Amino acid sequence: MIHNSPPNLGSPPAIWRLDDTPTSNADEGPIALLRSITTLALQYRLTLIACTAAGLGIAAVYAKTLPPVFTATSTLLLEARRQAAASNSDLGASQNLDLNRVDSELQIIRSERLLSVVFNSLDLENKNAEQRPPRGRMDRWIEELLGMSASVTARLGLTTGGDTLDRTGRATMGPAPSDAVRDTNARQMAFESFAKLLSARRVGQSYVIEISYTSSDPALTARVANAAVSAYLLQSVSFKAQMARAGADVFQSRLDALAMQVEAATAATKQGELPRISIPDADARVIGAAIAPLTPSGPRTSLITILGGVLGLIGALFTLALNVGLDRKVRSVRQLSRDTGLPCFAVIPKMFRRRAPFSNAFSTTSQAQRKYAVVVRDLRTAFETTCSSVRKERNLVMAVVSVGGFDVSTLCMSLATHTWNSGRYVTLFSRETPRTGSTASVSDMLIANIPPEKAAFETQDGVAVLPILSSNADTNLYVDLHDPRVARLIEAARAKGYVVLDLPMLGASMDALALAVHADAVLISCCVGVNTREEVSEAMQQLRRAGVNVIGTVINQATR
């Protein structure tokens, strides 16, 4: 029956494997970033230490050149306003004191009207040099240099006819101002300097106000701070005295008390001290008088020095991070392997010159040369391991090519010598220019149409060597290394044993590609600090497009 037939379920559902857990990338995340920063700091630790020490030294020298300054502080407590009552009572009605009024009183203290009272009472216009903090040695040196340059400019006649020189020797535009204008400008500059050095602030959310003044004279700081407090009390009690005089039913004793308080506050403001009598009718009460400081409040030498060291360290870290981010040179094995995707088989130690003789290319008389021998052995093992299937059928053809900046003739000769010492016959096709009177090179054989069977190899340290390029530049210009006779010559050498191809520098010509196609495996050699990672990647892609088996890279630490 139709009802007993199983329904059509369609295609079977896909089966998901539960054991396939996503693997996290170790090169990403905050731990990897912290590891990279630590590695970078350890790698450039000497630079970081030097920059930090330089920052500490410069900041310490700068802090020593700064002059000492002193700060005195006077405090007062705001109270509820007391107004004279309209009745015959001597007591007044009190107004509530709110927090908004404190901000208003701060603006009153900072106002130009109150500050001008202090400025005029203490005659600070004639003490402009004392009230400003003294300049440091560096500021004086800079001003002297500016004055000297302005004087030289004026003597050479480089100033215009309407320019004049001020007291420092610097040229000013236009005609000289009149005495009245000059005095007004000097007074205005002195008042602005005074206003910048006096500060008033509220202590937290309380009704306490601190008035501070900074100067190089410790006695002047206390006088100005106390005078500002007295001026504030004077302004408050003067207003009440005027209101009391305007009232018709106020006793004479009340007027006398207010007049006495006004007189005391006025005298205290002129002398730069607090009133000698109590000022009960003021809106504030003094709770702390300013005294001459015994120690300078600035400069903070330790803080400036530490800040200089921190800035030096941050600047060094930022410079290193920027340098590492923009530097695309080959610096390490990890960077090269990550950017190219090729394994780096060896790092050649910095010990051989660019044109080292073949006889000294592979020697184990010193520790450095023993390390180099280990590197060459590892390279030969890498070739044989990668081409293990080819090795079972025939001898290997190994090739090394440079991307520029350093040739690989010494490395190829060392590889051939190591293979010969292991008991194998080796033929080296070298890119070294043949000596005068030596055997013909591969290029000479192609131009002269010499058959591969008649090739004459030169023996060096047991290795059969045949130069690739000719000593004649015209021959190298017209030769075709992609000729089939080159393939027969390499195959003939392969029949005898291993073959090492010292390929010409990649990028200079296409000769390296023409010869690399005959190799079973090719290594790309780059020089640390000379070649970029993009150059290595482009060389790898260029070789692979030609069908070359690129198995890895080699980093050469030798200088150019």
Q: What is the pLDDT of residues 74-97, one digit of tens each?
A: 888 887 655 444 334 443 444 556
Q: For the chain, what's the residue count?
A: 560
Higher pLDDT, 273 or 489: 489
Burial of 135 (0-12, 13-18, 19+ CB in 10 A): middle
Asked if 539 contacts 554 with a C-beta cutoff of 8 angstroms, the reply is no
Query: Is residue 400's pLDDT more than 90?
Result: yes
The separation between the first and the last C-alpha atoms of the chain, rounded to the nearest angstrom, is 90
| Closest by Cα among 74, 69, 72, 94 to 83 | 94
Tell me the HSE value of 90 on the side-chain side, using a 13 A CA sphere: 8
- Best mean pLDDT range from 352-356, 363-367, 428-432: 428-432
Longest distance between any two alpha carbons in the chain, whole Å: 140
Task: Summarize pLDDT for 97-154 with one digit per residue, the tens.
Answer: 666 778 888 888 888 888 888 888 888 877 654 445 555 555 566 666 666 666 665 5
Indicate the pLDDT class of residue 371, thresholds 50, 70 and 90: confident
Asked if 201 contacts 210 with a C-beta cutoff of 8 angstroms, the reply is yes
| pLDDT at residue 19, rounded to an integer | 43
Q: Tokens 């009745």 map to which residue?
A: 87
Higher pLDDT, 257 or 348: 348
Residues 62-79 have a mean pLDDT of 85
| pLDDT at residue 432, rounded to an integer | 81
Query: Is residue 18's pLDDT more than 70?
Result: no
Core vs surface per residue 29-51: b (16+ CB within 10 A) or e:
eeeeeeeeeeebeeebeeebeeb
Q: Which domains, ranges and CATH numbers included, belong to the chain?
A: 34-66+299-326 (no CATH), 70-83+95-151+183-288 (no CATH), 333-556 (3.40.50.300)
Query: Is residue 380's pLDDT more than 80?
Result: yes
Tell me the HSE value of 379 on the side-chain side, using a 13 A CA sphere: 32
Residues above pLDDT 70, as percent of the chain: 74
Q: How many Cβ atoms sit within 10 Å of the Cβ of residue 315?
A: 14
Core vs surface per residue 250-285: b (16+ CB within 10 A) or e:
beeebeebbeebbebbbebbbebbbbeeebebbbbe
Query: Is residue 407's pLDDT more than 80?
Result: no
Q: What angle do CA 288, 257, 86 make, to 5 degrees?
A: 110
What distance in Å separates the CA atoms of residue 297 and residue 293, rounded to the nearest whole number?
8
Query: What pTM, to 2 d.p., does this model score?
Result: 0.55
| pLDDT at residue 250, rounded to an integer | 55
Secondary structure of 459-514 as H, E, C letters: EECCEEEEECCCCCHHHHHHCCCCCHHHHHHHHHHHHHCEEEEECCCECCECHHHH
| pLDDT at residue 499, rounded to an integer | 94
What are the residue ranges of helices labelled H in 19-89? 30-43, 45-65
DSSP 127: G
- Best mean pLDDT range from 29-43, 73-87, 338-352, 518-532: 518-532
Beta strand pairing call for 498-502 and 397-402: parallel
| pLDDT at residue 143, rounded to an integer | 62
DSSP 394: S
Higher pLDDT, 291 or 503: 503
Q: Tokens 């033929």 map to which residue?
A: 427
Give, in order, the Cα–Cα distances in Å from 60 to each of 54, 292, 297, 300. 10, 28, 17, 10
Provide long-range contacts, Cβ within 8 A and 24+ apart, for 90-97. Answer: 90/251, 90/253, 90/254, 97/207
Asked if 299 contacts 66 with a C-beta cutoff of 8 angstroms, the reply is yes
Which pair of tokens denotes residue 27? 């090169």
Task: Summarize pLDDT for 20-58 with one digit per residue, the tens.
Answer: 444 445 555 678 778 777 877 887 888 889 888 998 888
Residues 420-428 have a mean pLDDT of 91
What distance in Å separates the CA atoms of residue 54 and residue 498, rounded to the nearest whole number?
58
Core vs surface per residue 185-209: b (16+ CB within 10 A) or e:
eeeeebbeebeebbbbebeeeebbb
Q: pLDDT averaged over the chain?
A: 77
What distance in Å separates the CA atoms of residue 373 and residue 375, rounded to the nearest whole number?
5
Indicate the pLDDT class of residue 436, thresholds 50, 70 and 90: low
Query: Is residue 558's pLDDT more than 90?
Result: no
Higher pLDDT, 333 or 404: 333
